[in-house]
Chain A
Amino acid sequence: MRLAELRVLVLRSQGTNCDAETAHSIRETGAGAEVVHVNKLLRGRRSLEEFHALVLPGGFSYGDRIRSGAVLAKLLASRLRRELQSFVEEGKPVLGICNGFQVLIETGLLPFGEVGEPMLALAKNASARFEARWVHLLRGAATPFTEKLPRVSRMPVANAEGRVVLPLGREQRLLEELEENNQIPLRYCSPQGALAHGEYPLNPSGSFADIAAIATPEGNVMGMMPHPERAFHRYMYPDWTRNGAQGKGDGYRIFQGMLEYAAGRL
């Protein structure tokens, strides 16, 4: 299938606020994108099946009440469980960005691709603050989303709850499992590509094991804290006045990887 024939669902709800630029990024990469309110899916007016890929953009869904992403996740997990599960099992790509990552964790889809209870959490940043800053990311496990990225890429984060926390006492075991299954595609690192080892602000949230993104073992579902849509073009970089405004940025590669994968499997 050609990229242009792909239809990507950018799902929004109350408080989603990065849907327009995310949809635009998808269109600029060459596919079709449609922003749809979750209520339309819940009321059966639209269906997940219409789409080849699903993107959950950033924002504050339902005001992040209870926990970040929790309300939207519960709506999806309770009312669209079957559709969502089969979407994932068909191998269609699902990308969660920032709040979308939080939603994927809360649905249980991350890390093991099963809608259900959350197994880990995105907790309040160690700095106890909202952190809006650019970070360096080290490419790890191969996924369709990250395969086009250079070894070290740059994108901005903007969140108050971006710290990956694994269940107490089981951190090491689960980490090993995630590593063995190739489920950690991106980690915070230094400009030269050395792992941040928790050092602030290289790892802006104090995320466990410098984890910036998590994917399912199959690799078709990924959540990431950084915002690829804000690093889509070089002129969006914080130092483009030094290094040039021409060309696409690292964020573009995330969308490119996702869409080429989606096109390739159809």
Chain B
Amino acid sequence: MVPLREASDEELAEISERRQLALNLEEMRAIQRYYRRLGREPTDVELETFAQTWSEHCVHKTFKGVISYEGEEIDGLLRSTIARVTRELSPEWCFSVFEDNAGIVDFEGDYAIAFKVETHNHPSAIEPFGGAATGVGGVIRDVLGVWGEPIANTDVLCFGPLDYPYEKLPRDVKHPRFIFTYVVAGIGSYGNNIGVPTVNGAIYFDEGYVGNPLVYCGTLGIVKKSKYKRSARPGDVLLLVGGRTGRDGIHGVTFASSELEEGAEETFGTAVQIGDPIEEEKIKRAILQVREEELGSAITDLGGGGLSSAVGEQAHRFGCGARVHLERVPLKYAGMKPWEIWISESQERMLLIVPPSNLERVLEIFAGEEVEATPIGELIPEPRLEVYYRGEKVAELDMDFLFSGLPRVKREARWSPPELEEPEFEMRDLGEELHRLLAMPNIASKEEVIRTYDHEVKAMTVLKPLQGVAWDGPGDAAVLKPLRNSWRGIAVSCGMNPLYGKIDPYWMAASAIDEAIRNNIAVGGRRIALLDNFCWGNPEKPENLGGLVRAAKACYDIALAYGTPFISGKDSLYNESPLGAVTPSLLISALGIVEDVRRAVSMDFKERGNYIYLLGETKPELGGSHYYKLRGFLGTSVPGVEPSRARRTFEALTRAIDLGLVKACHDLSEGGLGVALAEMCFSGGVGAELCLEAVPVSQEMRADFILFSESNSRFLVEVEPENAGQFEALMKHVRFARVGETSGGELVVSYRGEELLREDIGELKRSWQRGVAL
């Protein structure tokens, strides 16, 4: 028993602190009132249950709370922005959104595709190999947790600059080079071992990630809708399957809901878990067999909060209670306290709910795969969570209070534009500038990393992350063919622009959505669904939250205008270190349908003598661009998005792809036209001649700005001359122009008769391949 009823506010705060509960005073008071009503003191198991159930990580209080922003009262940011897009669009092809472990959309017939993206930032900052590996393992379990068969992984990573000076590193902050090396190794190790291909991703470097790297892990899976069982009821058995429970991963969720302070390694050393991909592979086999035989009534993964979270949420979902006997949980070693067993986040564990009549067969399936499966309790009709240990009741909680007693968070949000100005500088030699841009770490080839990930296991990866004549060009999106007997495919892409957020998070979010969608469109994707993953600093600081609100508002405006629903998302707040808040980062992942994978388009130029078209308008939007960054500026002219015009471009391009008119297509992103064109050239081993004056611009612009502007919603397209008429007719409502032709072994750019740049494509490729070494 923990004496709580008579505690003063100071004592309440002290209890929360000492036990690493990460509960604020108001929440502690609510718990105190609950026990005063009950007339008893809480047990340690009960307090821990509150701490994890009410943690930011599990309940997303900020996104569900009340936020006051510029005189506006936002009642639930998630509900009034991101989820609202899906509600207002309500496409019939959304099978399950925002309610399960992963978003699920229809694919073909009984088959649907599940997609989930998670972050594992704090564990990766402390122990990058284990943190990243268990990030992969965790999100794969999310897909298993919707009865899905995992078929592909994605990963997006953010690190400090690899050449960051050691002497500037604060104590307890690991060097970006070390974190980069071991995060990549961890992701490769888990994905390769479990046999799920890593097919799409990105890597960003920025000073803002030195103290707090970001590790986004995503998994896609195949779901059979007829076997998606969610029908548990009282009397059903709670079956814990997989690895044994140990002290690893205690307080993971409260760790994730705190800032990374000096000494975090000592305080939260137990919060980092250890992964075992082979164990999870076996679990996967058994679960898919249980799915096939329809023996389970529900399933969920054990992630943040361990058993406490999994059991509580499942019982709550089915409107009943649960009784658990902790001594039945198989342990790695003796000596664990009941509360430790209850909230441990040991990896590779899942909770199945099984009607008693099916239990014997389910146990046989797990034994056949050499996986431990242990009945640890059952669902009960009373709305109570009862936890026993060796016959003694160690917790009895009212489900209703546990899941709705959390005082709603009220937060202040403020945003004021940063004081920045548009730079003035002279244009230098554009050939040299292009070489430098290609070698910038955010733009440079990530081939060394990609080749350490198995991206073809399962033999479904049709359009690979590396494309072109030498199999090394940077693809816009991966295309998978998930079913053996169908040509239908899925396109997986992402978008992220941390630099834009330093100017305005609204346009950062808008640009990330645009980028994820246009990457998907570029390979032939359509009917696109989105996932959002916010990584932000402490939301209790109004200026952090203000940026978050702006980004969420952009998600609503832009995704609605594009007709692309959000199907799943996650926020990771409290990304702060002794170096301050992380660069506010929003990852948008996109899942599109490709009607026939044989019509998918890669980004490499195919032949000499073809026409090059530029779709979309180029504006003087270089704020946050890599060209400005190269010259040491940030600027203010962050790229905007005009959804109605962009949508026309997307739709026309999709028609052109379907008609087979597009030989190559590449989206314009970091480094703009110049970088995209160079990439298409050296990936295809084909040069190009470009006339800058032909580029459709919104106003008179400098040549270097036309070449390196990062305006959104633009594509470069290669078309054979004999198809030019048909292609141009399709584009008649689109701002576009023919800007050049493919040619020999050089990239030549001219402007009003003057040659600005003439570079050998092999040399450009060498610059691009030099940028990031593993």
Of A129, A160, A242, A245, which one neighbours B469 at CB under 8 angstroms? A242
The smallest C-beta distance from A242 to any residue of chain B, in angstroms, reads 6
Asked if B701 is an interface residue, CB under 8 A from chain A, the answer is: no
Give every chain B residue within 8 A of A60 (Cβ-Cβ).
192-193, 195, 277-278
Cβ-based interface call for A134 (8 A)? yes
Q: Tell me whether A245 and B598 are in contact (CB under 8 A).
A: yes
* Chain B residues with CB under 8 A of A129: 451-452, 774
Which residue of A25, A39, A240 contacts B368 across the interface (Cβ within 8 Å)?
A: A39
**Bound CA–CA A14/B193 (angstroms):** 11
Q: How far is the CA of A45 from the CA of B276 in the complex (A)?
A: 29
Complex Cα distance A63/B189, Å? 11
Q: Interface extent on B, as a size class?
A: 35 or more
Known: A241-B601, A242-B606. Is A14-B458 also a contact (CB below 8 A)? no
Between B188, B193, B459, the greatest number of chain A beta carbons within 10 A of the residue's beta carbon is seen for: B459
Chain A nearest CB from B596 CB (Å) reads: 10
Instruction: Take A59-B195, A235-B597, A242-B606 as given contacts and tell me if A21 and B458 are in contact as well, using a CB distance cutoff of 8 Å.
Output: yes
Contact (Cβ within 8 A) B468 A239: yes
A42–B386 CA distance with the chains assembled, in angstroms: 43
**Closest residue on chain B to residue A22 by CB atoms:** B459
What is the minimal beta-carbon distance from B433 to any residue of chain A, in angstroms?
30
A158–B192 touching, CB < 8 Å: yes
- Which of B281, B368, B466 touches A15 (beta carbons < 8 Å)? B281
Contact B193 A227 (CB under 8 A): no
Q: How far is the CB of B475 from chain A (nearest CB, A)?
A: 10
A60 to chain B, nearest CB (A): 5
Once the chains are docked, how many angstroms separate the CA of A21 from the CA of B457? 9
Known contacts being A129-B452, A238-B466, is A63 close to B457, with CB within 8 Å? no
Query: A140-167: contact bitstring with B at CB < 8 Å (1 yes, 0 no)?
Result: 0000000000000000101010000000
Contact A241 B467 (CB under 8 A): yes
How distant is the Cα of A238 from the Cα of B464 in the complex, in angstroms?
A: 7
Which of chain B's residues 461-494 have a Cβ closer than 8 Å to chain A? 461-464, 466-469, 471, 481, 484
Inter-subunit contact A130/B278 (CB<8 Å) = no
Quick one: which of B157-198 are within 8 Å of A by CB? 188, 192-195
Which residue of B has the minimal Cβ distance to A154?
A: B471
- Tell me if A131 is interfacial: C-beta within 8 Å of chain B: yes
Scoring B residues 274 to 285 as 1 if CB is less than 8 Å from chain A, else 0, what string do you get?
001110011000
Q: Report the nearest B residue to A27, measured CB to CB.
A: B484
Least CB distance from B205 to A in Å reads 21
- Assess whether A4 is interfacial by the CB under 8 Å rule: no
Interchain Cβ contacts within 8 Å, total number: 104
Q: In this assembly, does A132 line the interface, its C-beta being within 8 Å of a C-beta of chain B?
A: yes
How does the 8 Å CB contact mask read for B249-282 relative to A, with 1 for contact and 0 for none?
Answer: 0000000000000000000000000001110011
Q: Is the CB of A242 within 8 A of B604?
A: yes
How far apart are A41's CB and chain B's nearest CB, in angstroms? 13
Q: How far, in angstroms, from A26 to B464 measured CA to CA in the complex?
A: 24
Which size bracket describes the interface of A in this complex?
A: 35 or more
Judged by a CB distance under 8 angstroms, whether A106 is at the interface is: no
Report Cα–Cα, A240/B597, bound state, in Å. 11
With A62-B278, A241-B467, A241-B601 as given contacts, are A18 and B452 in contact (CB-CB < 8 Å)? no
Interface check B602, CB cutoff 8 A: yes
Q: Which of B278, B454, B456, B774 contacts A63 (CB 8 A)?
A: B278
Which A residues lie within 8 Å of B451 (CB)?
Answer: 129-133
Binary interface encoding of chain B residues 32-57 relative to chain A, with 1 for a CB under 8 A from any of its CBs, else 0: 00000000000000000000000000
Query: In A55-73, which residues have CB < 8 Å from any B CB?
Result: 58-60, 62-63
**Cβ of A229 < 8 Å from any Cβ of B?**
yes
A181 proximal to B (CB < 8 A)? no
**Chain B CB within 8 A of A17 CB:** yes
* Partner of B282 from A14, A18, A25, A130 at Cβ < 8 Å: A14
> In the assembled complex, which residues on chain A have CB atoms less than 8 Å from the CB atom of B604?
241-242
When the two chains form their complex, are residues B463 and A241 in contact, meaning their CB atoms are under 8 A apart? yes
Contact of A239 with B471 in the complex, beta carbons under 8 Å: yes
Query: Are A130 and B454 within 8 A (Cβ)?
Result: yes
Task: Tell which of B457, B468, B774 touches A18, judged by Cβ atoms closer than 8 Å.
Answer: B457
With A39-B368, A130-B454, A230-B456 given, is the CB distance from A15 to B193 under 8 Å? yes
Are A17's CB and B195's CB within 8 A?
yes
Docked pose: A14 CA to B455 CA in angstroms: 21
Query: For the complex, is A37 an interface residue (Cβ under 8 Å from B)?
Result: yes
> How many angstroms between the C-alpha atoms of A180 and B264 in the bound complex?
63
Are A156 and B456 CB-contacts (below 8 A) given A63-B278, A242-B606? yes
State how many angstroms separate the Cβ of A166 from the closest Cβ of chain B: 26
Query: A132 touching B601 by the CB < 8 A rule?
Result: no
Tell whether, in the assembled complex, residue A17 and residue B194 are in contact, meaning their CB atoms are under 8 Å apart. yes
Query: Cβ of B456 and Cβ of A227 under 8 Å apart?
Result: yes
- Interface check A48, CB cutoff 8 A: no
- Taking CB atoms, residues of chain A closer than 8 Å to B282 are 14
With CB as the reference atom, state the residue of chain B lying closest to A236.
B459
Tell me how far the C-beta of A22 lies from the nearest C-beta in chain B, rounded to whole angstroms. 9
A20 proximal to B (CB < 8 A): yes
Tell me the nearest residue of chain B to A246, going by C-beta. B598
A241 lies within 8 A of B600 (CB): yes
Question: Is residue B453 contacting chain A, with contact meaning CB distance below 8 A?
Answer: yes
**What is the 8 Å Cβ interface bit string for chain A, positions 220-264, against chain B (1 contact, 0 not)?**
000000010110100110111110011000000000000000000
The answer on a CB contact under 8 Å between A132 and B452 is yes
Tell me which residues across on chain B come within 8 A of A238, comparing CB atoms: 464, 466-467, 471
- B370 interface contact, C-beta 8 A: yes
Query: In the complex, which residues of chain B have a beta carbon less than 8 angstroms from the beta carbon of A15?
Result: 193, 278, 281
Residues of A within 8 A of B276 (CB): 63
A24 interface hit (Cβ, 8 Å)? yes
Q: Is the CB of B456 within 8 A of A20?
A: no
Q: Which residues of A contact B455 (CB under 8 A)?
A: 132
Chain A residues within an 8 Å CB radius of B281: 14-15, 17
**Inter-chain contacts of B457 with A (CB < 8 A):** 17-18, 58, 158, 230
**Contact across chains for B370 and A14 when beta carbons are under 8 A apart:** yes
CB distance from B181 to the nearest CB of A (A): 11
Partner of A37, one of B368, B598, B602: B368
In the assembled complex, the CB of A69 is this many whole angstroms from the nearest CB of chain B, namely: 14
| A235 & B462 in contact (Cβ 8 Å cutoff) | yes
A-B residue pairs in contact (CB < 8 Å), sample of 13: A15-B193, A60-B192, A60-B195, A129-B452, A130-B188, A130-B454, A131-B451, A131-B452, A132-B453, A134-B471, A160-B192, A238-B467, A241-B463
Q: Which residues of B contact A (CB under 8 A)?
A: 188, 192-195, 276-278, 281-282, 368-370, 450-459, 461-464, 466-469, 471, 481, 484, 597-598, 600-602, 604, 606, 684, 774
In the complex, besides A14-B282, A156-B456, 16 extra interface pairs with C-beta distance below 8 angstroms are A18-B457, A21-B459, A24-B484, A37-B369, A60-B278, A129-B774, A130-B452, A132-B451, A132-B454, A160-B192, A230-B459, A235-B597, A236-B456, A238-B466, A242-B602, A242-B684
A-to-B contact residues, CB < 8 Å: 14-15, 17-18, 20-21, 24-25, 37, 39, 58-60, 62-63, 129-134, 156, 158, 160, 227, 229-230, 232, 235-236, 238-242, 245-246
Closest 7 CB pairs of A and B: A17-B195, A241-B602, A21-B459, A63-B278, A238-B471, A245-B598, A15-B278
